[in-house]
């Protein structure tokens, strides 16, 4: 073993020690286990909610402790846990359901779908889904191909436990789509969605531009549901460019203020809650549970859902 190998081995040991120290430090601030261990209770009153999302909300612990959250976890084949990514999927399902869009014959368009179960879940309800993600070569260039979160084709979205294979085959199509350049032929959908994808388009402006363009894919009265990052630390400083950006409250209020042509953004509700799991801030290496708020480059962030109805009558 030469000096270089010895130095690399020493560096590896130091990194491993640092990771253990960080994990131990995070554990000191975990809420009492009775508040989160085993996830939220699986409710006996599981059923979809009514009028739950009349606003565009931030992720918060109280949502997890409801019958509608348990219901949608079951429909998605997911065990309930205090994880914001699960909250995003449930929010999209519930927001579309209560607007009567998860119905037979409805057309839905998913952006940056990765390997999420929504396409299969919606197809099982009779929807016709066009699921999209980055082209394979672009995913390699951006690093998403190695993340385990990129869909290389329709097969990656199949979930026989959620949707019979024959129903999925005739109800779901897959296309490679750049979210920064949505093709002109993607139009007249009843709904569209994306789950924490638009903050990876390169800048705050690119994400906002995508939201505007996504409305162009909808039929009059159609609904877009997008989730993204909410900066809880500052309304001034943020990550504005790069692989991940964080939207400040003022950025989201500007989106509401700039909507023209009669489009309706559901009122923002950016309160992130004050429960014991809400107050815990996850730090790298991130946990699977609880994981509602996390530290990114010194900023505390969580998820927020934006629900927008296009102008016009369905």
* pLDDT tens track for 96-141: 999 999 999 999 999 999 999 999 999 999 999 999 998 755 544 4
In whole angstroms, give the CA distance from residue 137 to residue 133.
11
pLDDT at 74: 96
pLDDT at 76: 97
pLDDT at 144: 42
Identify the pLDDT of residue 30: 81
Q: What is the mean pLDDT of residues 292-307?
A: 94
Burial of 194 (C-beta count, 10 Å sphere; 0-12/13-18/19+): buried
d(CA 78, CA 152): 22
Integer Rg of the chain from CA = 20
Query: Which of helix, strand or coil describes residue 281?
Result: strand
Once rounded to an integer, what is the mean pLDDT over residues 198-212?
A: 97
SS3 of residue 11 by DSSP: helix
Burial class (CB in 10 A: 0-12, 13-18, 19+), 161: exposed
The neighbour count for residue 37, using CB atoms within 10 Å, is: 12
Give the separation between CA 177 and CA 43, rounded to whole angstroms. Answer: 38
Q: Which of 222, 234, 303 is nearest to 270 (CA)?
A: 303
Residue 302 to residue 232: CA distance in whole angstroms: 7
Q: Is the pLDDT of residue 78 over 60?
A: yes
Provide, rounded to the nearest whole percent, the portion of the chain with pLDDT above 70.
89
Give the list of residues 6+ apart from residue 290 with CB closer than 8 angstroms, or none: 30, 31, 36, 82, 83, 277, 280, 282
> SS3 for 104?
coil
CATH topology of domain 36-309: Rossmann fold (3.40.50)
Give 145-189 pLDDT, tens digit per residue.
Answer: 444 554 568 999 999 999 999 999 999 999 999 999 999 999 999
Count CB atoms within 10 A of the CB of residue 19. 12
**What is the reported pLDDT for 152?**
66
Cβ pair 227, 195 in contact under 8 A: yes
């Amino acid at each position: 073993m030469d000096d270089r190998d010895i130095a690399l081995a020493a560096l590896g040991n130091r990194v491993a020690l640092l990771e253990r120290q960080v994990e131990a430090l995070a554990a000191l601030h975990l809420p009492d286990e009775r508040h989160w261990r085993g996830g939220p209770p699986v409710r006996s009153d599981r059923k979809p909610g009514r009028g739950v999302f009349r606003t565009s909300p931030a992720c918060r612990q109280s949502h997890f402790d409801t019958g509608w959250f348990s219901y949608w976890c079951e429909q998605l084949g997911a065990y309930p846990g205090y994880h914001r990514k699960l909250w995003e999927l449930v929010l999209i399902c519930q927001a579309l359901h209560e607007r009567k869009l998860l119905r037979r014959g409805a057309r839905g368009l998913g952006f940056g779908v990765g390997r999420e179960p929504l396409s299969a879940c919606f197809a099982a309800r009779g929807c016709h889904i066009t699921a999209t993600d980055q082209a394979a070569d672009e995913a390699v260039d951006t690093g998403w191909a190695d993340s385990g979160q990129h869909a290389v084709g329709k097969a990656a979205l199949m979930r026989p436990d959620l949707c019979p294979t024959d129903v999925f085959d005739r109800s779901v199509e897959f296309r490679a789509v750049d979210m920064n350049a949505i093709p002109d032929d993607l139009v007249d959908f009843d709904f569209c969605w994306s789950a924490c994808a638009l903050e990876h388009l390169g800048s705050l402006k690119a994400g906002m531009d995508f939201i505007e363009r996504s409305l162009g894919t909808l039929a009059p009265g159609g609904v877009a549901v997008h989730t993204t990052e909410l900066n809880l630390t500052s309304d001034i400083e943020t990550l504005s460019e790069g692989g991940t950006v964080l939207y400040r409250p003022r950025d989201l209020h500007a989106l509401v203020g700039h909507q023209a042509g009669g489009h309706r953004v559901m009122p923002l509700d950016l309160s992130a809650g004050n429960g014991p799991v809400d107050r815990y801030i996850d730090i790298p290496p991130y946990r699977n549970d609880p994981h509602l708020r996390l530290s990114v480059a010194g900023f505390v962030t969580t998820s927020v859902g934006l629900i927008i109805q296009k102008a016009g009558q369905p």
